[in-house]
Amino acid sequence: MGLPPQQAGTPKVRFEEVSKRFGDGPDAVQALEPITLDIAEGAFTCLLGPSGCGKSTLLNILAGFEQPTAGRVLMDGQPVRGPDPRRGVVFQQGALFTWMRVIDNVAFGPLATGKSAAEATRIASQYLEMVGLTSFARRYPYELSGGMQQRVGIARALANSPEILLMDEPFAALDAQTRELLQEEIKRIWHETRKTVLWITHSIDEALFLATEIVVMSARPGRIKAKFHPGFAQSDDPAVVASAEFARMKAEIFGLLREEALAAQHQEAQR
CB under 8 Å to 151, separation ≥6 — which residues? 131, 132, 133, 182, 185
In this prediction, residue 181 has a pLDDT band, given cuts at 50, 70 and 90, of: confident
Nearest to 40 by CA among 4, 64, 73: 4
Mean pLDDT over 262-268 rounds to: 82
pLDDT at 271 over 90: no
Q: Say if residue 85 is preceded by a cis peptide, omega within 30 of 0.
A: no
pLDDT at 265 over 90: no
What's the predicted TM-score (pTM) here? Answer: 0.89
Each residue of 208-254: pLDDT tens digit? Answer: 999 999 999 999 999 999 999 999 998 888 899 999 999 999 999 99
- Cβ contact 172:202 at 8 Å: yes
Name the architecture of domain 95-197.
3-Layer(aba) Sandwich (3.40)
Mean pLDDT over 136-156 rounds to: 93
Domains of the chain, residue spans: 95-197
Q: Is 214 left (phi over 0), alpha (psi -120 to 50) or beta?
A: beta
* pLDDT of res. 220: 93
Cite the DSSP H helix spans in 131-175: 146-159
- Cβ contact 153:135 at 8 Å: no
